[in-house]
């Protein structure tokens, strides 16, 4: 819902009712993952997608019914029947959608989500989607507070605990409880969606390639910081797409910058006095991806310098250098695409081959998406 939330809030300023369809479960191959959403305004406008086009027409009709009846629906779409022209997925998967009417009842929780996203603060949104509980009731859960109720104090407590745990992992999924929050029972189904802050991307070296990497990093959903010790190059004018532009020696900045398991670090400095000290810190950090630009000769020289600094073979093996996948890139923009492709490939474990050269399910990473949370979905 993150990517459509601003539009949904704007619609609700003019008309209280909005139909919201959210993917709450996926089985086998499917184009969108849990948390993907599509909204329908009272005027019939549509934003977002739940299937990449396969079932959106049918979902639009159900959303209109839900807005008129005030009755949420839990619907499932499976494999389409081409001959019968039945609505469904051509990819062979199955998706489950919860379609609800957003009105004044859920305003506080939706506003809490929007405020948390704007502040880049973690928040989980829990929605009852099935069972004898209050269907469509919502609970917004932060690390220290809750907004709303699911209709039962015990259920609120159990869901709040689970939501905080899932938020720590960036997970989005269904959970089942008894009517009063009892564990190991499945009377009530709750969909818990994590809205973790954007992961960080640090780009070191204020060069033209860095501008292209900052643009694509922002497009992929990262909070992008460009850092360079040279004030004449590290300017907001040269890097308008970056969230932050910092004038500082890269290793000094990184030594105090927040780094976690979702952080991406791209070292594009081309200068040993800059890149060796910052890579020494980066390769010993929790960052999920560390890449460095340079020729193969530069790479070998850099590796030797890093060994002299005491880095182990295991630490050096984390370095993606020369940075990027071999796409035959030439321009800064093409190079940025190759770097982004390697970041994605590193994150999800794809082989980096043309799809026509592979076999099996294309969307085979559904479970990993569900547990990893965030850059490309939700």
265: its two tokens:
């670090």
Instruction: Please write the tens of the pLDDT for every residue from 165-183.
Output: 888 778 899 999 999 999 9
From 31-40, 72-81, 153-162, 361-370, the region with the lowest mean pLDDT: 361-370
Cβ atoms within 10 Å, residue 87: 17
160 — phi, psi (to 5°)?
Answer: -60, -45
Instruction: Please write the tens of the pLDDT for every residue from 101-114.
Output: 998 888 899 999 99
- Cα 340 to the center of its chain, rounded Å: 15
Omega of the bond leading into 94 within 30 degrees of 0 (cis): no
Residue 84 has pLDDT above 60, yes or no: no
Q: How far apart are CA 278 and CA 268, in angstroms?
A: 11
pLDDT band at 206 (very low <50, low <70, confident <90, very high): very high
DSSP string across 97-144? EEEEEESGGGHHHHHHHHHHHHTT--EEEEEEEESSS-TT-EEEE-SS
Average pLDDT, stretch 262-275?
93
Query: Which of 33, 217, 191, 36 has the alpha carbon at shortest distance from 124?
Result: 191
Residue 163 has pLDDT above 80, yes or no: yes
Query: Which of 199, 196, 303, 290 has the alpha carbon at shortest distance from 250?
Result: 290
Q: How far apart are CA 51 and CA 49, in angstroms?
A: 6
Please say whether the beta carbons of 283 and 254 come within 8 A: no
Instruction: Please write the tens of the pLDDT for every residue from 335-359.
Output: 999 999 999 999 888 888 898 888 8
What's the pTM?
A: 0.71
Residue 360 has pLDDT above 90, yes or no: no
244: its two tokens:
């932050």
């Amino acid at each position: 819902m993150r990517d459509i939330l601003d539009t949904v809030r704007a619609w609700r300023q003019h008309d209280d009712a909005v139909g919201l369809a959210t993917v709450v479960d996926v089985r086998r191959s499917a184009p969108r993952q849990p948390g993907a959403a599509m909204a329908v305004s009272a005027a019939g406008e549509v934003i977002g997608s739940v299937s990449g086009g396969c079932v959106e027409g049918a979902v639009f009709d159900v959303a209109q019914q839900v807005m008129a009846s005030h009755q949420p629906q839990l619907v499932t779409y499976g494999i389409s029947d081409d001959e019968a022209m039945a609505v469904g997925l051509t990819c062979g998967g199955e998706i489950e959608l919860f379609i609800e009417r957003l009105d004044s009842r859920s305003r506080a929780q939706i506003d809490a989500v929007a405020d948390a996203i704007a502040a880049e603060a973690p928040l989980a949104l829990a929605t009852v989607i099935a069972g004898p509980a209050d269907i469509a009731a919502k609970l917004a859960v932060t690390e220290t507070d809750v907004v709303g109720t699911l209709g039962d104090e015990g259920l609120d407590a159990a869901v709040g605990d689970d939501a905080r745990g899932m938020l720590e992992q960036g997970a989005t999924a269904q959970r089942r409880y008894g009517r009063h929050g009892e564990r190991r029972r499945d009377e009530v189904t709750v969909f818990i969606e994590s809205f973790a802050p954007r992961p960080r991307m640090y780009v070191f070296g204020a060069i033209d390639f860095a501008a292209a990497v900052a643009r694509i990093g922002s497009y992929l959903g990262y909070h992008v910081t460009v850092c360079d010790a040279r004030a004449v190059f590290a300017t907001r004018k040269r890097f308008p797409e970056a969230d932050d532009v910092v004038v500082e020696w890269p290793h000094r900045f990184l030594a105090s910058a927040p780094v976690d398991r979702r952080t991406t670090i791209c070292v594009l400095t081309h200068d040993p006095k800059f890149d060796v000290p910052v890579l020494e810190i980066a390769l010993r950090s929790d960052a999920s991806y560390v890449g460095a630009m340079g020729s193969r000769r530069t790479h070998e020289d850099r590796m030797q310098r890093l060994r002299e600094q005491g880095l182990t073979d295991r630490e050096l093996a984390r370095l993606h250098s020369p940075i990027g996948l071999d796409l035959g890139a030439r321009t800064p923009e093409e190079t940025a695409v190759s770097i982004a492709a390697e970041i994605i490939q590193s994150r999800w474990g794809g082989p980096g081959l043309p799809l026509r050269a592979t076999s099996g399910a294309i969307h085979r990473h559904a479970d990993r998406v569900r547990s990893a949370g965030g850059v490309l979905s939700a």
